[in-house]
Amino acid sequence: MTDTQAVRAPLNTGEEPQGDLCIRTLAMPADTNANGDIFGGWLLSQMDIGGGIFASKIAKSRTVTVAIEAMNFRKPVYVGDLVSVHANLVKVGRTSVTVHLEAWVLRRKELCAILVTDGNFTYVSIDDQGHPQAVQRQEPLIIT
C-alpha cells in the first residue's frame, strides 16, 4: 500500500473491542453538551490522545495528528460511562502512521461493552524541531 492510497475504516461487527487498549477514562458531567450527553468533541479528543500514544510507540518518536477520516458516531456516551479507546495499526507510511481507533463504553446497567465511535486517525512522526521525519522501521527478527 502506498502513502497516497485511501484507507477505509474496517467495520467491527464483533461484540468486543479490537486492538490494543490505549486509554480508559470516565465520562463526567463537565464533559456534556447542551442536551446532557457527552460532547462529541470530548470523545474525539480522548480518541486522539489514545491514538497518539499508540502512534508514538509505533514511530518511536513524537507524533502529531494530521488527519481524521471515516469517523462513525454510532451511539451516544452518557455521564458515568467508562470509555475505553482501542487501536489497530492500519498502515505505516514513510513519515506517517494510520491507526483505526474504536471507542467503547461500559454503562452502569449493561453487562457488555458497546461500540460508540470509531474512525481512522493519521499521525506524522516529527523531530525535535517539529519537522516530519521518517518512521523508524523495526528490523525483522531473524531466528537462526
Q: What percent of the chain has pLDDT over 70?
A: 85
Across residues 48-65, what is the average pLDDT? 97
* All cell numbers assigned to 125: 512522526
Across residues 39-59, what is the average pLDDT? 97
Q: Do the Cβ atoms of 91 and 102 come closer than 8 Å?
A: no
Longest dimension (CA), the chain: 62
Question: In which band, very low, low, confident or very high, does the pLDDT at 5 lie, cut at 50, 70 and 90?
Answer: very low
Q: What does the pLDDT read at residue 124? A: 98
Tell me the whole-structure pTM to 2 decimals. 0.84
Is residue 44 classed as helix, strand or coil in its secondary structure? Answer: helix
Across residues 65-69, what is the average pLDDT? 97
User: 71: how many CB neighbours lie within 10 A of its CB?
Assistant: 16
pLDDT at 1 over 50: no
Q: What does the pLDDT read at residue 16? A: 87
Across residues 30-35, what is the average pLDDT? 94
pLDDT at 3 over 50: no
Question: In which band, very low, low, confident or very high, does the pLDDT at 131 lie, cut at 50, 70 and 90?
Answer: very high
Q: Which residues 6+ apart lie within 8 Å of 21 measured at CB? A: 84, 85, 86
Report domain extents, the chain. Answer: 20-126
Residue labelled with grid coordinates 523531530: 127
d(CA 125, CA 106): 33
Amino acid at 12: N
User: 58: how many CB neighbours lie within 10 A of its CB?
Assistant: 18
pLDDT at 11 over 80: no
Q: Where is average pLDDT lowest: 10-24, 69-83, 93-107, 110-124?
A: 10-24
CB-based burial label for 101 (10 Å; 0-12, 13-18, 19+):
buried
Architecture of domain 20-126: Roll (3.10)
Q: What angle do CA 62, 67, 70 make, to 5 degrees?
A: 130
Q: What does the pLDDT read at residue 110? A: 86
